[in-house]
Amino acid sequence: MTPPQSLDVMQSGALNNYIIDKHGKVSVVTLLKVDPAQKDLVYKTLDGQPGVTVLDKQYATNSLVAEINNEFNNIAWMTSLLVFLALFLSYGRIELTLITFIPMLISWIWILGIMGIFGIKFNIVNIILSTFIFGLGDDYSIFIMDGLLQQYKTGKKHLSSFKSSIFLSAITTILGLGILIFAKHPSLQSIAFISIVGICCVVITSQVLIPFLFNWLITNRVKKGFAPWTLSSWAKSVFSLTYFALGSFIMSGVGFILIKLNLFNKQKGKYLYHSLLSKYTWSVLHIMGNVKKTYINPQNEDFSKPCVVVSNHQSFLDILVSTSMNPKVILLTNQWVWRSPIFGAVVRLADYYPVADGVEGSVDALREKVEQGYSIVVYPEGTRSPQAELKRFHKGAFYLAEKLGLDVLPVVIHGTAYTMTKGDFLLKDGVITVKYLPRIKADDCDWGGGYLERTKNISRYFRREYEYLRRETETPAYFREMLYYNYVYKGPVLEWYMRIKTRMEKNYEEFHRLIPTHGRILDIGCGYGFMSYMLHFLSEGRQITGIDHDEEKIATANHAYLKNDRLNFICGDIINYTFDQHDAFIISDVLHYLQPDEQEVLLKKCIANLSDDGVLIVRDGDADLKDRQKGTALTEFFSTKAIGFNKTSSKPLSFLSSARLRGIVAANGASVLQIDNTRYTSNIIFVIKKSPAPSYA
């Protein structure tokens, strides 16, 4: 310990600046000038000496930079994960998150790659600068995605404004940091270089890659009338297509062995090959777990007697359905199937017959197959129809049946046109129904005396049965997924609302039952158009107009990809709207947003403009049901206050009592029927007609 007298003497001299006396402890600071090559030796010599502490700013800085470099990968992964989660929470869909995030990741790889090419190493400044550039890239990507989504949702084109803002931001950033490129110090030049390269990378990826991916997966598809891709639909489609492709290549090899290399009994080899092919195509259909298959075969048709199978053709899936019917079937195919790089070899090995120039010249070639017990599958439409409607039947199938003396077996296929649309390999969650109709005997003259007359009669019969099957199958639940695709990528809250709303409404099945399948329909207070679209899907004979005062909702409804000239959406005030005659008016959950006098005006206008056989459907809360009215009030609180789906005026909600509604209807010369099918709310359906009160089961 230094004596106090000595310490006072030292502090009074020139050494005072190098002596620190705190809390009774004295420290002496001294500077050592060391040859850089001898630093490690000095550290080892002084290390462990009692009372000696070595401080080296350069060493501490280098240690800090080294530690940051060692932890940089972990920091980058954690930051990327947080950004990914934030994007997912914001967009609510993994597809949009990936479209936004992948370009960010690519831009980061570009920056690292360019730094590696030019030998620029990470230091503390570069790390901070790179993080700053990555953050800018996040902002740019989000701006571009928001512009794309807004345009996809409502058709409003603000993307160019976003792009201009990004461009100006990038220019100012490059000018601010890029000016350092003229500095003489290499470190400053590296900062400028990384800034210029990094900003250019994030601008290119955000303005080029994101729109490219978005348009490829979503926009370009809906312009063609196809549903947009989702990750789940993509995975299902790729899995099924891969299974089909690999199986086709395997079947080609098996067929070559059983048929081409078979030196003993080729006929048995071909039958075995047909059996394997039938099981394989059956497996392809049933590997599609998202597609429900229904077979209706009341006559227990087993193809024990050869026939000409007449079937409609709307999708590639029809070929799988036909080949899986029975091993002993031969398909008449077009040149596209015959030359397919995936399935063509299988078709040729199975002796499926190409009929690009008609069936007249194929009678003799097919007669041999018929004698071997094979039936012939013909698609009399000639080509796949893009929609669910049937095209004109050609005479070839019936000419062939007459020349070969075969029965005609009509097989109606429904659901393939939606499940896998022509020109698209997206596999949607559909329902495929295969219905075997009774055989038409070759000698049954009730269908006509010759193949020309039989073509017309059987075609008419087939169309009628197909329409019966459509009406049985195409229920509101059948079109639920189609409605979902119509609103996907319109925003996470809207998607969620659509799912919940349509499920609560049971896909609008009750409204479909109550309104006519043909005629002019006005959906008052249509909102986003959920009901309007569903009612249109269920019957294309309906000309539907939706009206709502919310401009954004109308813009969204008008910009859905399934909209056509049978659907129209108008933004307007229903009180001041000029009505004309309609076959049905729908006022669902709207009246309570109006005041009592406005409610009466609206009901009068609707009744006055009903056609003679028209119907006015009103669904609203009945103020007379006081206990159940609490449930209705709760749902309105969530829709108008908590979540804000529906806009309200400054005036309070006004629920109409059933007694008052009946009085208004009677005063306007109409009758009303009440339908109460809810338990927890006071929502009642009122069916109003000009004629005496209707009766509904």
Residue 548: count of CB within 10 angstroms of its CB:
25
Q: Which pLDDT score, from 0 to 100, does residue 287 have? A: 93
Q: Find all residues with CB under 8 Å of 454, minimum gap 6, and list them.
A: 398, 401, 402, 408, 440, 447, 448
CA dist 78 and 187 (Å) reads: 28
What is the rounded end-to-end Cα distance, in angstroms, of the chain? Answer: 108
Residue 230 lies in a domain: no
Structure tokens given for 625 = 């049901």
- Kindly write down the DSSP assignment for every residue of 208-264, as one continuous string: IIHHHHHIIIIIHHHHTTPPPP-HHHHHHHHHHHHHHHHHHHHHHHHHIIIIIS--S
- CA dist 565 and 563 (Å) reads 7
Give the Cα separation of 227 and 426 in Å (integer): 8
Owning domain of residue 17? 4-54
291 and 429 Cβ atoms separated by less than 8 Å: yes
Q: Are residues 319 and 463 in the same domain?
A: yes
Give the pLDDT confidence of 257-301 residue by residue, as tens digits: 998 887 678 788 899 999 999 999 999 999 998 999 999 999 999
Q: How far is CA 140 from CA 83, 95, 144, 202, 253, in A?
A: 13, 18, 6, 8, 52
What φ, ψ does residue 486 adopt, rounded to 5°? -65, -25
Q: Are 324 and 282 in contact (CB under 8 A)?
A: yes
Q: How many domains does the chain have?
A: 4
Please check whether residues 328 and 404 belong to one and the same domain.
yes
Confidence of residue 697 (pLDDT cuts 50, 70, 90): very low
The confidence band for 83, taking pLDDT boundaries of 50, 70 and 90, is confident
In a domain, 280, yes or no: yes
Q: Residues 35, 62: one domain? A: no
Clarify whether residues 449 and 501 are in a common domain. Answer: no
Contacting residues for 233 by C-beta, under 8 A, at least 6 apart? 227, 426, 427, 428
Give the residue from 169, 197, 223 where a domain finishes. 223
Q: pLDDT by residue (tens digit) across 481-519? A: 999 999 999 999 899 989 998 998 999 999 999 999 999
User: In this structure, is residue 233 part of a structural domain?
Assistant: no
Residue at 454 is within a domain: yes
Q: What is the CATH classification number for the domain harbouring 454?
A: 3.40.1130.10
Is 577 a residue whose pLDDT tops 70? yes
**Domain shared by 416 and 539, yes or no:** no
Residues 63 and 44 in one domain: no
Q: Could you tell me if 578 and 674 lie in one domain?
A: yes
Confidence band of 654 (pLDDT split at 50, 70, 90): confident
Residue with tokens 């789906």: 645
Residue 621 has pLDDT above 50, yes or no: yes
Please indicate, yes or no, whether residues 167 and 118 belong to a single structural domain of this protein: yes
> Tokens 């303005």 map to which residue?
207
Please say if the pLDDT value at position 11 is more than 60: no
260 lies in a domain?
Answer: no
pLDDT in tens, 299-332: 999 999 999 999 999 888 999 999 999 999 999 8
Whole-number Cα distances in Å, 89 to 94, 218, 235: 9, 20, 22
- 134-147 pLDDT, tens digit each: 778 888 888 999 99
Last residue of a domain, one of 473, 495, 530: 473
- The domain spanning residue 612 has which CATH number? 3.40.50.150
The half-sphere exposure of 46 on its side-chain side, counting CA atoms within 13 A, is 13
User: Is the distance from CB of 688 to CB of 671 less than 8 angstroms?
Assistant: yes
In a domain, 92, yes or no: yes
50 and 66 share one domain? no
23 phi and psi angles, rounded to 5 deg: 55, 35
**Phi and psi angles of residue 278, each rounded to the nearest 5 degrees, phi first:** -65, -40
- What is the token pair recorded at 477? 């639940």
188 and 301, same structural domain? no
With CA atoms as reference, report the closest residue to 685 among 639, 638, 633, 619. Answer: 619
- Whether 74 is covered by a domain: the verdict is yes
pLDDT band at 66 (very low <50, low <70, confident <90, very high): low
| Residues 50, 62 within the same domain | no
155 occurs within a structural domain: yes
Is 597 found in the same domain as 553?
A: yes
Q: Which of 392, 351, 357, 369 is nearest to 308 (CA)?
A: 369
What is the CATH number for 178? 1.20.1640.10
Of the three residues 188, 223, 258, the one that is the final residue of a domain is: 223
Per-residue pLDDT of 399-423, as tens digits, reads: 999 999 999 999 999 999 999 988 8
